[in-house]
Amino acid sequence: MKKIFLAATLLVVGLSAQPKVLLYYDMEGLSGINHWKMTSFGYPEYEQGRKFLTSDVNAAIAGLIDGGAKHIVVTDAHGSGNPEPDILLDQMDKRAVFEFRDSAFAPYTDMPNASYQAIVCIGMHAKANSNGFLAHTYTIEPAFNVNGTDFTETTIIAASAARYGVPVIMVSGDQVLEKQIKDQFPEVVYAVVKNARNRAECDTIPQRVVQKSIYGAAKRAMQNLVRYTPFVLKNPLTFNMSFQNRAQANRVFFYPGLNRVDDLTVSFPAENFIDGYKQSLRLVSLSAPDRTGLLFQILNKHPQGKEILDQYQDLLHMRWLEPEKMPKQESPPPRKRWHGAQ
């Protein structure tokens, strides 16, 4: 027994001497980002957003290294639609490595493992239905609550990593998220990079101030690694999802195992966080068609809207009744590598 205890002790000491950190990045909570187009692939503003992302991540990497980190793995948790990572890889600090895989993976649930000693979250945003800048939780509409705790995306990461005993130690974002993080993780070191006025507007902070703040927060967090504990939820778990409108809630209500809490909210039990989280993603997908109604609103007012809708109906019926006549579509080239949120 003594030999086993000694071996375990030596293992822990060895790991702490070579601390490995998993660094997640999002974009809505980055310094300098003051419009949603800066976070979305395809808009001219997005390229400037990538520069802010790279600067914030590099500041965190430098702080972590100077604080004692030996290995840093960076993963994309944003999902802008870019087939390549949002970060500018050629400008990312080479002391960290970016995570690529041969097949698709979910960064929130598939990235954490027992090889890490800590998690850092850069560019995060406030929870859904709050007044943080571009506030949401995973998607732009439903709000998540587990056992009475409202979830931010940082909370999702922390709850996922807890099964491996890995804590979140440092976060950056706006001042609204800071309050939400401190309520759940009072020991986490936080760097405020801008001040939200509401979901659509924010006041940015000068870059030299922000980069110094992120660097200092990451360094302090790393130097005090032993003080952090994982975010463990007590079983059994009850997930609540609140939607923006009744139509969304009605779309998911008949899914097996759900309880209707009120007009906008459904709940369901889960044996563990990962099972419950995956169930919530299925419900998000079921509620998504409600967004199509917005497109039809635009087309109905457009001068060529009726013509476009008629073409849509023609193609829909052709695919059903005469699929051999469907126009051929070129398949996109197969992906050779995957980088996280898609």
CATH fold for domain 18-227: Rossmann fold (3.40.50)
**What dihedral angle (degrees, nearest 10) is formed by the CA atoms of 177, 183, 189, 195?**
30
Q: How far apart are CA 236 and CA 241, in angstroms?
A: 17
**pTM recorded for the entire structure:** 0.90
State residue 16's pLDDT score: 57
* 3's tokens: 């030999």
Phi, psi at 312, each rounded to 5° = -60, -45
- What is the distance, to the nearest Å, from the Cα of residue 156 to the centroid of all Cα atoms in its chain? 8
Task: Report how far apart, in Å, the C-alpha atoms of 38 and of each of 124, 131, 211 are.
Answer: 14, 19, 19
Q: What is the pLDDT along the chain (342 residues), one digit of tens a residue?
A: 444 434 444 344 444 578 999 999 999 999 999 999 999 999 999 999 999 999 999 999 999 999 999 999 999 999 898 999 999 999 999 999 999 998 889 999 999 999 999 999 999 999 999 999 999 998 877 999 999 999 999 999 999 999 999 999 999 999 999 999 999 999 999 999 999 999 999 999 999 999 999 999 999 999 999 999 999 998 899 999 999 888 888 889 888 899 999 999 999 999 999 999 999 999 988 888 777 888 888 998 999 999 999 999 999 999 999 999 998 888 777 777 889 876
The pLDDT of residue 322: 93
CB within 8 A of 329, min separation 6: which ones? none
Tell me the C-alpha distance between 182 and 199, whole Å: 20
Nearest-CA neighbor of 196 among 186, 187, 205? 205
Beta bridge partners of 237: 270
Structural domain boundaries of the chain? Answer: 18-227, 295-320
Residue 3 phi, psi (nearest 5):
-65, -40
Interatomic CA distance for residues 29 and 25, integer angstroms: 9
- Give the span between the Cα atoms of 133 and 317, in whole angstroms: 43
**Predicted local confidence at residue 274, as pLDDT:** 95
CA separation for the pair 150, 59 (Å, rounded): 29
Cα(248)–Cα(289) distance, rounded to whole angstroms?
Answer: 8
Q: What would you report as the CA-atom Rg of the chain, rounded to the nearest whole angstrom?
A: 22
Six-digit token string for 299: 């087309």
Pairing state between β 259-260 and 97-98: unpaired
**Burial call 314-324: b when 16+ CB within 10 Å, e when fewer:** eeeeeeeeeee
Q: Token pair 């199509």 is at which residue? A: 292
What whole-number distance in Å separates Cα of residue 334 and Cα of residue 102? 11
